[in-house]
Amino acid sequence: MSTIPPPPATPGNVPNHLVWAIIVTVLSFVVCCFSCISIIGIGTGIVAIVFASKVNKLLAQEQFDAALQASKNAKLWSWITTGILIVGFLVFVVSFFVGGGIEGQMERMEEIRKAIEAAQQR
């Protein structure tokens, strides 16, 4: 049995994953307002964006193997960011329902407001 080597990288078959990296990074930023776990996703999303932005530059320089590696790294970091985003969202949903829903959230906000006012009066 012989194995067939993968086709060489060419400009047409190396995806940069830039759109995916940007979307999950922005969503991580939005979700971090609800779940602190997603703050990590902002960092990993930036790494994904950096790798994704290298792909087209490397292709323009005809460094096809380096472009393929940058594409794989962008995909990996985009998946990592997506996973962190999903976990962050699930943590938010669980904490929301365990914490009493909207009423529980409003009570906690009122407690925070009172604590801030008490600290300002000192």
Q: Is the pLDDT confidence value at 6 over 90?
A: no
More confident residue, 39 or 70: 70
Evaluate if residue 95 carries a pLDDT over 90: no
Kindly list the distances between the CA atom of residue 69 and the CA atoms of 16, 42, 55, in Å, as whole numbers in the listed order. Answer: 10, 22, 8
Look up residue 107 and give its two tokens: 């009570």
For the chain, what is the domain count? 1
pLDDT at residue 104 tops 80? no
> Confidence class of residue 85 from pLDDT cuts 50, 70 and 90?
very high
Residue 8 lies in a domain: no
Q: Is residue 9 part of a domain?
A: no
Q: Which helix (H) or strand (E) is 121 found in, with range?
A: helix 101-121
State pTM to two decimals. 0.74
Residues 6 or more apart whose Cβ sits within 8 Å of residue 16: 52, 53, 55, 56, 71, 74
Is 10 domain-assigned? Answer: no
Query: What is the span of the domain harbouring residue 48?
Result: 15-121
